[in-house]
Amino acid sequence: MKKALIFDPISGAAGDMILGALFDLGVPVDYVDRNIRSTDLSEFGINFNRFTDHTGLTSGKCDIPIRETHHHRRLSDIEKIIMRGDFSEDVKNNAVRTFRRLAEAEAKVHNVSIDEVHFHEVGAVDAIVDILGSMIAIDYLKPEKIYCGPFKLGRGTINCAHGEIPNPAPATVELIRGFPAISLPIDAELTTPTGAAILTTICEGEFSEIPFIIKAIGYGAGRTKLERRPNVIRALAVDIRNDAPNQDVEIIETDIDDESPELVASLTERLRADSNVRDVTVQHIIMKKGRPGFRLTAIADKDKASGIADILFRHSSTIGVRIHSARRIILPRSEVTVKTKWGDIQAKRVERPDRIEIVPEYEECRKVALDNNISIREVMNEVIRNA
């Protein structure tokens, strides 16, 4: 089992929403507050309460009251504040990375250098609490993996210090470049630059098709009331039951009833020799008019199906193939060399969810068995014992 954290931006993401979801998930508010104050930052407060909105959903709402001062802070100033805090290096590094991503996005949008980007004092303290607080809260939960669903984006324009700008804000668009996003018909800012900066810094991508067990659920509320939906982000603390990687593949199939078994075997070997083919299988089937035939199935890397189809058309009698996309889950595995009384024998080390399994290479075991006039099973058992 591996601990993971999944963020689901149901109606977007902002710094205070993320922090509210983490508090609702069970992170103590005073723990986060105390750690932030270890930086000597003091002109803020953290107010957290749970409330039920107009849709009937209860969520956590986080307010950050700020005592305003009269100067600006640049990125270098904020980095110094973060680095003097009494918390882990992971928290410091993630907070600095997040602020740097935020500053880089703002610099690109405004066509200035990153050193010229400055944050007004209120906005800077608010962002420090949101970003640093989120990193402290996540470190408290200690997930091994962090994932995020598609970002939700509003439409129209939003007001800022310089007037109206497109919605989502240009910095937000820059930050979520390359991440899945969905545009909703809502005239409100759903994903803010701070929220986008936090999630795009810490998340590995979108979570999909791996079994997990939900351990805790937290909802973080946004400030804007949305007419037909709750304005929340959801955070799930989960245990991943199977950390096997996903692969997007394409499956190519064809049915043949007018080829000899020898030619089908030759075609199978030709397909296996292609570097884009992951696996090939052949099934005996009964085709139309009761004729016996073969169903040949190849699993290929994504977007490589046309090349595999070309092999089938060139080297078999088929006049049509079926292609469909699929996702497969494969267990982590590695090649190992096992020392035995007959010499070194290769095997696979397969990481199953509940155990490690050693799978001896059949051909090497077969050769050793023939050379020593013993059974293949005896050789395989020796490999497993010595691994």
**313-368 per-position pLDDT tens digit:** 999 999 999 999 998 888 888 899 999 999 999 999 998 888 899 999 999 999 99
Q: What is the DSSP letter of 317?
A: S
pLDDT the model gives residue 241: 65
Q: Is the pLDDT of residue 42 over 90?
A: no
pLDDT the model gives residue 328: 85
| Contact (CB, 8 A) for 234 and 59 | no
Average pLDDT over residues 363-379: 95
Q: Is the pLDDT of residue 130 over 70?
A: yes
Categorize the per-residue pLDDT at 276 as very low, low, confident or very high, splitting at 50, 70 and 90. Answer: confident
pLDDT the model gives residue 116: 74
Average pLDDT over residues 308-316: 93
| Contact (CB, 8 A) for 47 and 187 | no
For CATH 3.30.70.1380, the residue range(s) in the chain are 246-329
Average pLDDT over residues 126-140: 94
Token pair 């799978």 in the structure block, residue: 359
Token pair 């193939």 in the structure block, residue: 321
pLDDT the model gives residue 331: 84
- The Cα–Cα gap between 90 and 246 comes to 27
Angle between helices 121-141 and 89-110 in degrees, nearest 10 = 140
Mean pLDDT (the chain) is 89
Q: Domain 246-329 classified CATH 3.10.310.30?
A: no
User: Residue type at 112?
Assistant: V
Categorize the per-residue pLDDT at 122 as very low, low, confident or very high, splitting at 50, 70 and 90. Answer: very low
Tell me the range of 145-159, 319-333, 351-365, 370-384 where mean pLDDT is highest: 370-384
Please give the backbone phi and psi of residue 335, each rounded to the nearest 5 degrees, phi first: -85, 135
Helix (H, G, I), strand (E, B) or coil at 188: coil
- What is the biggest distance separating any 2 CA atoms in the chain, rounded to whole angstroms? 88
Using alpha carbons only, give the angle 312, 280, 344 rounded to the nearest 5 degrees: 135
